[in-house]
Amino acid sequence: MIVGGVVRVPGDKSITHRALMLAAMARGQSHIGGALTSLDTRATAAALRRLGAKVSALREASTVVVQGRGRFSRPAAPIHCANSGTSARLLTGLLAAHRFTATITGDRSLRRRPMRRVTEPLTAMGASFRSASDGLPLEIRGSALQPLRWELPVSSAQLKSALLFAGVAGRVEVSVREPAGRSRDHTERMLRGLGFDVAERDGWIELAAGTAVPAFELQVPGDISSAAFLIGAALVADGGELTLAGVGINPTRTGMLSVIARMGASLTAEPMGDECGEPVGDLIVQPSALRATTIDANEIPGLIDEVPLLAVLAS
């Protein structure tokens, strides 16, 4: 089997979610190229439309245009997040800073996922919540928020981002600290790229009280988790050279690349620069004779989506 050529993978899902939400919070028109057109990101776009933003259709090879109004409007019906946990948790953070009541729900699977780790710190900031259980549907009653300093019980990009987004929407200081094993930092990078003061001191991620979100333009990098499957195919091929163009190579997402390098993979990353704080590059992969390695627990947050693929490569 020969695996070769130049391929562009779909846009990064985590970055797409965050870009859509921040564009909806901006006052003015933002343009997002390369956005992922998955069911999850479409759920985010639909939710933002219910909250008063104008979001063009998410289509492959097209630029998404978002017309934000600076703040959300009270939705006329519950916001349905389908199966997207990122949509539900990050929107909860943003809605906590709006002085109206809104309800978030989702499909049967999403309604079983816990929300207390998000609602507890947001309650400490001044928002209030009502739910029949620890999950969805969740009624959110937003308010003028207070600053927050919170140690997270687990390393979670969704939880961390929900609290940082609450700080952005509420224009208050937020400091969060994760336990060992840092989660994805797309939110911190994007906020810095938009001019927000986000610092890291002694393990704390500190967002200073800011102003309004500016309108922006962004080209979403290719998704490293999607690229991983093609990387795996190229590594076990009989020949060829595969180039994956314009992939996001954020260090908090490339744990898999470190693991396969230890396994003897022939893979070269050629940096191309940054996109709103996100490093982007081309990945060049050739067939390789792989050897065994051990993955440490602290590495898992940086490769959580690629564990199944690593198991296949190991076998």
pTM for this predicted structure: 0.93
- What type of residue sits at position 144? A
- Helix, strand or coil, per DSSP, at residue 286: strand
**Interval 146-186: pLDDT, tens:** 999 999 998 899 999 999 999 999 999 999 999 876 789 99
Active-site annotation holds for 202: no
What's residue 127's pLDDT? 98
Report whether 96 contacts 163 (CB < 8 A): no
**Interval 99-144: pLDDT, tens:** 999 999 999 999 999 999 999 999 999 999 999 888 999 999 999 9
Question: Across residues 259-277, what is the average pLDDT?
Answer: 94
Cα separations in angstroms, 68 against 162, 177, 197: 19, 31, 22
The mean pLDDT value of the chain amounts to 95
- pLDDT at residue 1 above 90? no
DSSP bridge pairs for 266:
286
What's residue 39's pLDDT? 97
CA 269/CA 284 separation, integer angstroms: 6
Question: Across residues 16-41, what is the average pLDDT?
Answer: 97
- pLDDT at residue 246 above 80? yes
CA 46/CA 178 separation, integer angstroms: 31
Strands 278-286 and 242-248, how do they pair?
antiparallel
Highest mean pLDDT among 49-53, 59-63, 249-253: 49-53
Share of the chain above pLDDT 90, in %: 90
